[in-house]
Amino acid sequence: MQSNQPQHPFDLATQLTQQKPGMYSGQTSSAYANMVGPFGGVIASTLLRAVLEHDDILGEPISLTINYAAPIHEGNFSIIAYPSRTNRSTQHWYIELKQNDNIVITGTAVTAKRRDTWSSTELAFPDVPPADEVTRTPLESAPPWAQNYDIRMIKGAPLAMNPTQQPDSVTLQWIKDSPDRDLDFLSLASICDAFFPRIYVRRKAFVPIGTVSLTIYFHANAETLKHNGSQLLLGHARALKFFNGFFDQTGEIWSHNGNLLATTSQFVYYKE
């Protein structure tokens, strides 16, 4: 029986239509607009969807790198995704997004068949208050993409939102999709980018910024993500250095019960 429930805004925003194997068409979503162009997290998830929906996929994603070569304009786009090499347990992917026959995004991904092995997490879960003890952050004046998330900032709000001088760029925040949506690789990829830019935590002025490259490492399988359901995740991000127009951001995404789900890094352009 077909469900009468409307599609979640995130699924609509990342929806693709297969034109032929490995070739898809899609469209930007105003619900996930950013200050300039669409939210980069949703774009990353859309490119990942092209891999996940490919008939030849092997296993599940373990890494994703997206290079934002040029601005994406509102409207239609096309994506190609194909495995450049398939091994016994890993598969390497090339992904490309075009608008008006121009390449604007390139990406690579690795999928793999995981095996049951010895496992250990060396990073400690941050010492934070439970999500239900943290007030939801008002985001009415934020770009549209942010309003699709329930964000509860513990530390490191942008200075324009909280004019308390920060000694560093560390952000700790509880986060999940709003309305609720069960976690999967697509939504996790987008949440890895759902931190306000580090420079806005350190400085009050909203200078032009843009992510140049984003990398995500997935430390969980689909079953682990399914068990999380729609419960809040903990995001932890910081910059290591701001230098001559570029800064980095590193981060982790944890489940509500302290399971490290993904680590991420990105390099960001800024202008003064």
Residue 159 is predicted with a pLDDT of 86
pLDDT of residue 35: 85
What pLDDT, on the 0 to 100 scale, is given for residue 39?
96
C-alpha angle with apex 16: 139 to 47, nearest 5 degrees?
70
Q: What is the pLDDT of residue 163?
A: 72
Give pLDDT < 50 ranges for the chain. Answer: 1
* pLDDT score at 4: 63
What is the pLDDT at residue 66? 98
The Cα 238–Cα 171 span in angstroms is 6
- Backbone dihedral angles phi then psi of residue 49, each to the nearest 5 degrees: -60, -35
Choose among 189, 248, 232, 155: nearest CA to 46: 189
Answer for the pair 23, 80: CB distance below 8 angstroms, yes or no: yes
CA distance 250 to 267: 9
Distance (Å, whole) CA 32 – CA 71: 15
40, 56 Cβ separation under 8 angstroms: no
pLDDT at 1: 44
Contact residues for 122 (Cβ-Cβ < 8 A; gap 6+): none
Residue 166 confidence (pLDDT)? 75
Task: Give dist(CA 143, CA 185) in Å, integer.
Answer: 24
> What pLDDT score does 272 carry?
82
Task: Tell me the CA distances in angstroms from 190 to 194, 243, 245, one per residue in order.
Answer: 7, 26, 25
Query: What pLDDT does 167 receive?
Result: 83
pLDDT in tens, 95-115: 999 999 999 999 999 999 999
Say whether the peptide bond before residue 9 is cis (omega within 30 degrees of 0): no
Average pLDDT, the chain: 95
- DSSP symbols for 20-44: ETTEEEEE--GGGB-SSSB-HHHHH
* 217-229 per-residue burial string, b: 16 or more CB within 10 A, e: under 16: bbbbeeeebeebe
Q: So what's the pLDDT on residue 206?
A: 84
CB 75 within 8 Å of CB 97: no
